[in-house]
Chain A
Amino acid sequence: MRFNASWIAITLFTIVVYLLMFVPVVVVMMLSFNDSQFGGFPMEGLSLRWFVALWENEAVMRAFRVSLMLGALTALISTTLGVLAALAIVRYDFPGKRLISTAMIAPILIPEVVLAVALLLFLRWLGIPRSFLLLLAGHVIFTLPFVILVVQARLVGVRREFEEAALSLGANPLQTFFSVTLPLIMPAVLAGMLFAFTISFDDITGTLFWKPGGVETVPTQIFAMLRHSISPEINALGTVMVVITVVLPLLGMALARRLAARTRVQ
């Protein structure tokens, strides 16, 4: 519509900013197919050898298994705790509600480094060393607020009458939750779960503090590899990470949308 000079300048500026945001990542993905020994330009032909090298790199594969396990457990625990807490906050009135709901999202407001130090030192003082369990506890506490916020937002929109109808028809509270409330908030539960998984899978700030010696997650493995030099293998690993953290959530979103559409029809 508008073709004046300032609008053209705004458009160009926007294009440049978007390019700045994406070119570096595109370059990583491009270089991961580079046939060269070194992780840089020039491109010397296309090859999948670095992906093969990744597949055969035992340390990297182990890091992947740790990250997937950690992400899945974090998502599961965090979502369970988060859904219960969101139910209490949205559906009930109790003394100290404001304070408690603020405390629940406090982990977002506190710098992650501080959270990492506090948790590490406290549990160490209790005699609990750095372990997978500490890592899991840290990831749960760090992802919990995101799950609560997402589920809470959806729960506010679910009318109480549905639950009351089920209760008055003789369902007990547990039955009501599983057959009425849960299906209605399912998209948010899945979104929260995905959120928790992605944050856990990507986390490095806390993980470097909490992880026991010898255990690596994918981000800390990349970090350790970067200390030597930037090899084409890191670029390949980056490409795999992008695929996992971008393609998986997109699939999940499509799934959640389909589920939501179905609940609406019913």
Chain B
Amino acid sequence: MLEQRAFEAEFLRKLDGLVLSATRARTRRAGRRVIGRAQGAGIEPENYREYAAGDDLRFLDWNALARLDDLTIRTFRADRHVEVSVLLDASASMGIPERDDKFGLARLLGAGLAYVAMSKNDPVRLAAFGRRASAAGLETTRFYRRQESYVELRPFVTGLAAGGETRMAAAVGTLLNERRAPGMVFVISDFLVAAADYETALADLSAAHHEVKVVHVMGTKEMAGDYPPGAYRIRDCESGATREVTLGPAAAAACRARATAHANRVRAFCASRGITYAEAFGAEAADEIILREFPRLGGLI
């Protein structure tokens, strides 16, 4: 399976040297990657300045007040790290068609993005959503900061199984309920769900000042709709709904058109919200996707 490659040395060598650039999240909170000048929540002292009305009295230097009878505020360097969360869609549709290995590709890309983010010691975690993930709809790892910890993601990445319904908005809701500082969120999914669900999810993430990046995963056979001509009963892997159809060249062409239209719709929504969109169509082109789409997602050399 493709996700096993995520922990091969050859794959990781390709990712070495890539740096994940963050724009929105860092500037809104604590400046750019350079050291911030705003009153930060860090612990490293930066400077002293005169007290002004409205300053937090917790930062008042009481020693200076006692000795000099002067109100002085201590300032600290802001925490410059950006939390990176990689949300993997682990619903049943990610495992269908099995030959496309969409879920393997999604896990490979998710792990690769985590590896790149770790190169600058940014805290990174993986999260998966799907009905079976957990009662809350979201299963997450803890945050890892150093690339030496990358291998600790392996049990999570290889242990995931696709199943259940896509409930992206619910999973994002669970994520936002953690009330963490805005950071960077990668959403890796096939988005084969009602448009309202993924649009709500992505809009909520943006509204919470997260820098959102979308990786749209689709399978080659899935998009081609190429089945031997004949009458079939098709069953939706998530809802279990069935339909009876006649498949053949005309149906395959219609399927391709629907898949393209679906991708365009996701892309257009992302563009309208300022969300970075990258497509990952076909597991067989994984290397090409990494080279082509990672820079688009912020992976800079």
Do A and B come from the same complex? no
